[in-house]
Amino acid sequence: MSTMLWLLLFAPLAGSIVCGALHFAALRAARDGHAPGHAGSAARKLAGVIGCATVAASFGLALAAWGALQAPGILAVESSTWHWIEAGSFTVDVSLVADRLSSVMLLVVTGVGFLIHVYSLGYMAHDPGKAKFFAYLNLFVFAMLALVLSSSLLGLFIGWEGVGLCSYLLIGFWYEKGWPAEAAQKAFVVNRVGDACFLVGSFLLLRLFGTLDLSEIAGANFHMLGAHSGEIALAALLLFGGACGKSAQFPLFTWLPDAMAGPTPVSALIHAATMVTAGVYLVLRLNPLFAAVPAVLFTIGIVGAFTALIGASTALRQNDIKKVLAYSTVSQLGYMFLGLSAGAWSAALFHLVTHAFFKGLLFLGSGSVIHGMHDEQDMRKMGGLRRAMPRTFMTFVAGAAALSGLPLLSGFFSKDEILARNFALGGFHLGLWAVGLATAALTAFYTWRMVALTFFGEERFDRHHVRPHESPAVMIVPLVVLALLSIGGGLLNLPHVLPGSGLLEHWLAPVTRAGDELLEREGEHGHLSAAAEWSLLALGAVLALVFARRGLRAYEPGPARDEALARARPKLAEFLDGAWQIDRSYHERIVLPLRAAAARLSAAFDLGAIDAAVDGAGRLASALAQRSRALADGQVKHYALWMGMGAASLSLLWVLS
Amino acid sequence: MSVPTDHLLALAAILFALGVLGFLVRKNVIIVLASIELMLNAANLSFLAASRHWSQSTLAGQGDPSAGPIFAIFVILVAAAEAAVGLALVIALYRLKQSVALDRVAELKG
Amino acid sequence: MLALITFLPLAGALLVALLPGQRPGLLRLVALAVTGVVAALGLVFYARFDPLAPGFQGEHLRPWFTLQGAHGPIPISFHLGADGISLLLVALTVVLMPLVVLSAYGHVHARVKEFLVWLLVMETGMLGVFVALDLVLFYFFWEVSLVPLYFLVGIWGGERRLYATLKFFLYTVAGSLVMLVGVIALVWKLGSASVPELFLRTDGLDPGTQAWIFGAFALAFAIKVPILPFHTWLADAHTEAPTSGSVLLAGVLLKMGTYGLLRFGIQLFPGVAVQAAPLFLALGGIGIVYGALLAMAQQDLKRLIACSSVSHLGFVVLGLFALTGPALRGAVLQMVNHGLSTGLLFLLVGMVYERTHTRMLERFGGLARVMPVFALFFVFTVLASAGLPGLNGFVGEYLVLAGTFQVSPAWAVVSVTGVVLGAVYLLMATRRVLFGPVTRPENEHLADLGAREVGLMLPLVALVLWIGVQPNALLAKCAPALDRIVERVEGARYGARLEAPLPDEEGELR
């Protein structure tokens, strides 16, 4: 069992190293031959196969781990311990733990990850850096697995920063274009701000609990720690701050839309299905910590709802298909946090899983479109593609239907669960529910706007120069699999009013019990009658259908409506275009002043004041020397005078003493 | 009727002061050398005056009455040697600088 | 054995000096052999070192001369010895030296003989500083390690080398002279120069004397580390130094300052250290942020790395004066880590300088496509410097920050912002050097790294990875020595509380 977990973790790392070596081999082959030679393309092909194989192996092992947990009484599978740091009173031991929560994450990461690896075989087929791509992708899977499997907060942090590193490397994959490198840097730095909060939160946890072991913290007796509730709340909020960075919540979401500069499989894997869910996972893992002080969860709810609204409203105005999906991801992540804030742990995880399915599908589908349109990403230059790319179209529609929450698809159930639980709590959570509902409407609208602009209506491109074609099977098959999962994924956690309900909820119960108990004590637990649940389901279905149809109808003829809005309400349009101008205000109020301050500090203060003092000391010595030089004028008379005076004063002193 | 010792010492002091002044102020090297001679002779005078004073006073028998004149002879010796060397230097200096003005000689200037 | 390790480089220098200067290949080989042997011996000593044995190991004691003190003669001796802390720094030095000699193959082509001689002399000086157990001997080696660098920078350096080396030399010597006053005073008053004995006797001095002697020492060390505001010599020295000089300067020489603070500041005067701790915590914290901001504004790559050194060593100072077990371990670990990662950075900068003859960021751009191997090493090193978990820098940084948080949460939080700023300036530099399109046509055909260059960096890369994953290997060696220091500090703190006047019955303090 233990070795199985270590193998699970390290297979992708091994794959990464091998693919990296293959990349350098391909580079050498390209250098020695004048055309991408035989050896080079063989190396690249091999890298693709190895990259997929390792993730497949990890998926198999993840299934085995899940299978091991089916046995009654087995709640977790643990590996041997790695004694990482031993510093006197402070020790960090890390082992790999597959429990009910991490097993779900493992399956999502390795399963969806595998599909995306296979897809990349086709998408990156002609890219000279293909081997490097798979090296980075495998490294990412390794880091994400480390994050999910780690038993210690610090071990989790290795994975946490590791996925940030891979995100940096992959966003900037096509760095020669220039702007991807800037986007990568921005992603890393914004994430680092979140990481700084994470670190300080970890110090507080260390002070409170004396350990960074996740199960020990989660298992602590929060009832007895009432006097420290302020510190607990602060630690929880700081960790949530870190989660905001990783999961692109307000105020740290500005890196995600820029991250679209990376290849589309990267957007699918990292920025939809896995890395951005790390924040949600963190909160789930430490759910008692977050549930201990009600204000914390409420803050999370406000942030989540607000972010969801920002994301959805901005997605309405985007013309780049990937940017729509990026802002949509920001928005949907907000939903997950909204679910967490209502104590709906399993609902949030459920939405995480379904989102991985349908958002991953949508990103891959958009990649298929971009691939077929020869790297065109602007929807205004698309249109009518359903005829040229039927299979992409159908799978894309499945994903869109799930995202917009059309009834009976996976997204419908997961989104509804979150909203229902918020509604059930009442009080302030009703406000959050309302925002969530409005955002759901917007979601349906922008999703089908995207579908309409891309696949319906007239072709807004020149048929002679652009010939869209369907993608190869290696790209279509993952799309189909994800489409099936998007459609049927709702079965994982049906609402209580339906038979076979709550599979995920029951599965997750041992992990969330502590948090649930704390919430019950605080009175934060609502209950919905069957009637209320049915009405909410119906409301959600109707809303989704109505706004989906509106979006489709409004944009079938083309993007004219957008231009009309821009003319009628230019300020509003600009506001929404730039994600409520948050990024710009960061640039103007933080980035530029910081750079200016650094420049001024360096020039005026450091060189001008401190160093000038040092040089000044030197100049002073020099000046004094120059003055003293005047005494040595070569005139014997003066020398004699000084000598005489000196002798006289010495003898005077002698006489006096 | 001998001259009182005080007067002799005063004279010596005045001569010495004149010598110092001349040494410090005058431009001509030869005058400077002469001033040095003057200082030395003033010292001589004070030696002899002191010697006569001690041999005349009630402290006769203490110390060597010939110390003064002997010291004066030493001083004269030194003065002569120094004058010789000094004048040789003056000649060399004149050959170098075609002048005996002291303020033109600043070779030791730093 | 320590005497052999310390003085073999000097013997090697003599050997090189005697060999003919027209055969640089032979000279380099000899220097490489000497440093290699020293490295091997050093590693053997490292392996044999028993952390649990009390006191100093590998001791070597030989009388040197005698001073007349106030209470009798004071013997000054060649007293060498190492405990866990000095062991790590010795290991760092001996490992870096052969790599520095290897790197010199690439950029030192004129007067090779003198270069190697000075390099080897410097090794003796650096090693001596770390293992000297006699205060006068320590001072001797401190000064010895200065002179070679003066020549290394002054002769083989860049354009402004004379200014830089003079500035560095005078600045450091000024501090050293102040320290000399302290040394003389201490030796005179306590009647001994033997460091282990001094540890026992310094409590006997009155607090005022302890304070000013500590201050005198601290000034010299503060200049060396460098601590704000005594840091301005570093940027110039690094920029103008040849690559080998920069690697040793950043890798080892700066650690002399931090080692001095630990050994001759905190360990010698624990009471004063406790009282001075808030000041140094502040200086460390401010230094972290200040250095990072300075680095952000630099256009010269080497200057940027120099400013980042100020920032990184701020972490060390922070950890040292937090005075807790974890923090001290983090600080000592960071001393080693910084030597490795900054050494790597300077080696890389040197390699690119040999090809482009410029250090200005604007003259680079897009080099990742032209030199992929270089790019790999560069990104790896930048990440180590930025404290990516899994690499060496993270462990040290985290220990320092966590340890400091226990003592002063405010400064810990301030320093965490340094972590963010660190990512900013390092990634900015990386982007401008490596990424984007190739902006300058002269950069299109640069040669990638060769076998020698990769070979000399691999040991450092391996160490970076190993320490990141198995820091206990190093922590275990220095832990007992550090715990002894913590004991002394706690004792001094407790003693100070005992001495504080107690209120009498009316509550008045008498």
Q: Is the pLDDT of residue A37 over 80?
A: no
Strand partners for C63:
C77
**Model confidence over A432-465: pLDDT tens digits?**
999 999 999 999 999 999 999 999 888 888 777 7
Measured in Å, how far apart are chain B's first and last C-alpha atoms? 56
Mean pLDDT of B18-24: 91
- Tell me what percent of the residues of chain A surpass a pLDDT of 90: 48
Write down the pLDDT at residue B72: 87
Between B52 and C42, whose confidence is greater?
A: C42
Cross-chain residue pair A602–C294, CB shorter than 8 Å: yes
ipTM greater than 0.95, yes or no? Answer: no
Residue B78's Cβ-side half-sphere holds a number of Cα atoms within 13 Å equal to 13
Distance from CA of A653 to the nearest CA of B (A): 21
Residue of C nearest to A601 (CA): C294
Cα A22 to Cα A44: distance, rounded to the nearest angstrom? 7
User: What is the DSSP track for C54-92?
Assistant: -S-EEEEEEEEEEEEETTEEEEEEEEEEE-HHHHHHHHH
**Which pLDDT tens digit goes with each residue over A111-151?**
999 999 999 999 998 888 899 999 999 999 999 999 999 99
Asked whether the beta carbons of residue A634 and residue B102 sit closer than 8 angstroms, the reply is no
**DSSP code of C500?**
S
Q: If you measure CA to CA, which chain A residue comes closest to C466?
A: A84
Q: Which residues of C367-398 are buried (b: 16+ CB within 10 A; e: fewer)?
A: bbbbbbebbbbbbbbbbbbbbbbbbbbbbbbb
Quick one: how far is CA A210 from the chain centroid?
Answer: 29
**CB-nearest partner of A614 from C232, C431, C437:** C232
Tell the burial category of C469 from Cβ atoms under 10 Å away from its Cβ (0-12, 13-18, 19+). middle
CB contact under 8 A, B108 and A641: no
**What is the crossing angle of helices A294-315 and A428-455, to 10°?**
20
pLDDT of residue A36: 55
Query: Is pLDDT above 90 for A513?
Result: no
User: What's the whole-model pTM score?
Assistant: 0.88
Cβ contact (<8 Å) for A636 and B108? yes
Among A residues 251-280, those touching chain B with beta carbons less than 8 Å apart: none
Q: Does A627 touch chain B (CB under 8 A)?
A: no
Nearest CA in chain B to A630: B110
d(CA A80, CA A342): 36
**Chain C residues within 8 A of A206 when measuring between CB atoms:** 402, 405
How many residues in chain B?
Answer: 110
Identify all chain C residues contacting A89, using CB atoms and an 8 Å cutoff: 324-326
Walk along chain C (510 residues) and give the pLDDT tens digit of each residue.
888 889 999 999 999 999 887 888 888 899 999 999 999 999 999 999 888 888 888 888 888 888 887 778 888 889 999 999 999 999 999 999 999 999 888 888 888 899 999 999 999 999 999 999 999 999 999 999 999 999 999 999 888 888 898 888 989 999 999 999 999 999 988 888 888 888 888 888 888 989 999 999 999 999 999 998 899 899 899 999 998 899 999 999 999 999 999 999 999 999 999 999 999 999 999 999 999 999 999 999 999 999 999 999 999 999 999 999 999 999 999 999 999 999 999 999 999 998 888 889 888 888 888 899 999 999 999 999 999 999 999 999 999 999 999 999 999 999 999 889 999 999 999 999 999 888 888 888 888 888 889 999 999 999 999 999 999 999 999 999 999 999 889 888 887 666 665 555 444 443
Copy the structure tokens of residue A141.
Answer: 């899977």
Contacts of C417 in chain A (CB under 8 A): 196
Kindly list the partner chains of chain A, i.e. chains with 3 or more CB atom pairs below 8 Å: B, C
Interface touch A636/B105, C-beta < 8 Å: yes
**What is the predicted pLDDT for the residue at A529?**
82
Measured between beta carbons, which residues in chain A are less than 8 angstroms from residue C390? 158, 161-162
* Mean local confidence (pLDDT), A614-626: 87
Amino acid residing at C61: L
Specify the length of chain C in residues: 510
Nearest CA to A511 out of A227, A286, A241, A177 is that of A286
Contact at CB, A178 and C296, closer than 8 angstroms = no
Q: In this structure, what are the phi and psi dihedrals at residue A625, rounded to the nearest 5 degrees?
A: -65, -40
Do B and C make contact via 3 or more CB pairs under 8 A? The reply is no
Confidence band, pLDDT 50/70/90 cuts, at residue A528: confident
C82 CA: distance to closest CA in chain A (Å): 21
* Percent of chain A topping pLDDT 70: 99
pLDDT band at B63 (very low <50, low <70, confident <90, very high): low
Mean pLDDT, rounded, for A195-199: 94
What integer pLDDT is reported at residue A34 of this predicted model? 52
List of chains touching C (3+ CB pairs within 8 A)? A
Confidence band of A230 (pLDDT split at 50, 70, 90): confident
Give pLDDT, residue C391.
93
- What residues in B contact A637, CB-CB < 8 Å? 23-25, 102-103
Contact B24 A639 (CB under 8 A): no
How many Cβ atoms sit within 10 Å of the Cβ of residue A179? 13
* Average pLDDT over every residue of A551-565: 85
Q: Which of A221, A327, A226, A217 is nearest to A283 (CA)?
A: A217
- Rounded to the nearest angstrom, the gap between the alpha carbon of residue A582 and the centroid of all alpha carbons in its chain is 18
What confidence score (pLDDT) does residue C506 get?
47
8 A C-beta contact, residue C241 and residue C153: yes
Give the list of residues 6+ apart from residue B47 with CB closer than 8 angstroms, or none. B68, B69, B71, B72, B75
Question: A199 vs C398: CB contact, 8 Å cut-off?
Answer: yes
